[in-house]
Chains A and B, each alone.
Chain A
């Protein structure tokens, strides 16, 4: 076991654990000794993730996190079943690309429900007294899109920028409870979300070529993001809070 990142016995909730970065993060955290509770909508995929975890004592709870009023009950059930939390990774997210004129309020609302409102509500619920252990760490997955602008990305970019801004404020509020909270901001990462995005804008389109040239270390593998998250959840990151850490193959330098 890696001694720098040792999460033995730590109960960590991973929301969005049924695919992509969230799934890989669950696998990586289990290999560092963590006891996980997995959340997403698709039960079959959660069970598939569960089968890939190392160690024992893991659980899952199928839930639609965009139903904001149901989050409290989900959190209560998880804690009742598997104990109070040492960490949470918020990896649930959806991408939506469309020109400004098509971005009707209900579209923006449904995007923000998953990417932002459910994130804040989850953080609010798990930071209530009795639901966390001292030293709890929270990591949200933002995106490099929060720092960059592009056509058709206004909703996605704004939802991720909202996450980053919220984290800077929450960090100060929860410091007194011995809780740290950060976001990681991945660049293009090899998951289903990236394939859908590429299909949408065209793999040989000018925008895709430009994105690839800006991310000059290449497309990121989910393991690389998962390891960064594991670091932020570990005691090695004890003085890091309120930040957004890019894992972006160099994109922010362009």
Chain B
């Protein structure tokens, strides 16, 4: 999956308009990135990449790029 495709999947998961996110976007600047969105992220990562996100991993994410880095098949 290319970075472009991963970003599109992330935008869909977080219900954010297409083309809003880049690798450098700071998550604290994304209004939609709330507790519900984090739950959606957990489910998407498990479904699509068989990656089990932990609370600590989520706390460690600062940019969109940090999330993209774990969007690889486990």
Contact = CB atoms under 8 A, between A and B. Distances in A.
A97 B40 contact: no
B27 to A, nearest CB: 17
Nearest to A104: B47
B40 A199 contact: no
B19 interface: no
A150 to B, nearest CB: 12
Residue among B13, B39, B42, B44 facing the most chain A CB atoms (10 A cut-off): B39
A213 interface: no
A151 interface: yes
Interface in B1-31: 13, 15
Contacts, number: 25
Contact of A97 (B15, B39, B44, B55): B39
Interface string A91-131: 00000011101100000000000000000000000000000
A151 B36 contact: yes
Contacts of A69: none
Interface residues of B, number: 10
Given A152-B36, A205-B35, A98 B43 contact: yes
Contacts of B13: 102
A231 to B, nearest CB: 37
Nearest to B14: A101
A99 B55 contact: no
A101 B40 contact: yes
A204 to B, nearest CB: 11
Nearest to A199: B55
Contacts of B36: 99, 151-152
A152 B15 contact: no
Nearest to B43: A102
A98 B39 CA distance: 6
A70 interface: no
A205 B15 CA distance: 22
Interface in A173-217: 199-202, 205
Contacts of A200: 39, 42
B6 to A, nearest CB: 17
B40 A98 contact: yes
Contacts of A201: 35
B48 to A, nearest CB: 11
Interface in B38-74: 39-40, 42-44, 55
Nearest to B37: A99
Given A101-B15, A102-B44, A202 B55 contact: yes
A16 to B, nearest CB: 24
Interface of A: 97-99, 101-102, 151-152, 199-202, 205
| Nearest 4 Cβ contacts at the A-B interface | A102-B43, A98-B43, A99-B36, A99-B40
Given A99-B36, A199-B55, 9 more contacts: A97-B39, A98-B40, A101-B15, A102-B13, A102-B40, A151-B36, A200-B39, A200-B42, A201-B35
